[in-house]
């Protein structure tokens, strides 16, 4: 599907809710976690972000939740390309990647530019891709 995707996170919800929008900014799909309470379904129904502009408004509110845009490509190939340090066992890194939650994959990809900048500024050696993923450098 073309368009944008957003992930809704809250400490009060076990799992992530994904909103997918078409190129015109209209809601096309909602993906709920396996277990979600009735009150959360009611909340989503009440505040349903049927248009992408509503997501942007909701994200500006100080609340007990966050909404982040999901990069279009969350594949291991994207991670491998973006990370730029192709050493170690690629298959092992791919297995780790495939075992990660969607939320962790987003964090890992989003943190790569900051991590590479840190490496450049400090002169530290870049961690192997498996180490970056296993030791969750992106949680820093």
110: left (phi over 0), alpha (psi -120 to 50) or beta: alpha
CB-based burial of residue 38 (10 Å sphere; 0-12 exposed, 13-18 middle, 19+ buried)?
A: exposed
Q: How confident is the model over 72-126, as pLDDT tens digits?
A: 788 999 999 999 888 889 999 999 999 998 878 888 988 898 999 999 999 999 9
Query: CA-to-CA distance for 96 and 77, rounded, in angstroms?
Result: 13
Residue 30's SS3 state is: strand
Q: Domains of the chain: which residue ranges?
A: 5-70, 76-139
Tokens of 52: 């992408």
pTM value is: 0.60
Q: How confident is the model over 33-53, as pLDDT tens digits?
A: 877 888 888 877 887 788 888
Length of the chain: 140
């Amino acid at each position: 599907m073309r368009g944008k995707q957003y992930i809704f996170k809250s400490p009060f919800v076990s799992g992530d809710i994904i909103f997918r929008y078409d190129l015109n900014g209209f809601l096309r799909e909602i993906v709920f976690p396996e277990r979600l309470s009735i009150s959360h379904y009611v909340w989503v129904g009440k505040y349903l972000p049927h248009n992408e502009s509503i997501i942007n408004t909701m994200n500006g509110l100080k609340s007990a939740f966050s909404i982040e845009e999901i990069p279009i490509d969350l594949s291991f190939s994207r991670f491998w390309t973006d990370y730029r340090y192709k050493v170690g066992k690629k298959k092992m890194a791919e297995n780790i990647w495939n075992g990660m939650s969607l939320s962790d994959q987003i964090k890992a990809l989003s943190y790569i530019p900051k991590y590479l900048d840190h490496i450049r500024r400090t002169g530290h050696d870049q961690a192997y891709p498996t180490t970056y993923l296993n030791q969750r450098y992106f949680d820093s």
